Amino acid sequence: MKILVTAAVVTLVSFPACAEKVAVGCQLVSQYSEDQVGYLLGEARSVIGDQETNRIYGHYVSLRSACQYDGNATRVVNLPPALRDLLAQNGVDIRRFARRL
């Protein structure tokens, strides 16, 4: 479960340098609870820092809210290499949750 939660929330991260732009949709929000997202944020904080952790949560909340009214809602975010590598190390296929732009 930890790996899947990692995939869900990490796709919502936003780092400007060397990041890959991806579009994340409502599938992510419907698959993971806020508790799962919170757990991941606690784990990811040491890797991405407080500011980015808060930014991730903001993206998650925004998408969750939008999905209540529009099942096709998406958010474009940046996926930094460090977090992409973290996902790969845990066997997570990010393509399940986001599409490259």
pTM score, whole prediction: 0.70
Among 11, 2, 100, 1, smallest CA distance to 57 is for 11
Domain count, the chain: 1
**pLDDT for 6-61, tens place per residue?**
555 555 544 445 778 888 889 878 877 788 777 777 777 788 788 877 887 888 89
Structure tokens at 14: 């936003």
For residue 51, count other CB atoms closer than 10 A to its CB. Answer: 9
- The answer on pLDDT for 67 being more than 50 is yes
Judge whether 24 and 98 are in contact, CB under 8 Å.
yes
Find residue 76's DSSP bridge partners. 23
Domain that residue 78 falls in: 2-100
Residue with more model confidence, 91 or 56: 56
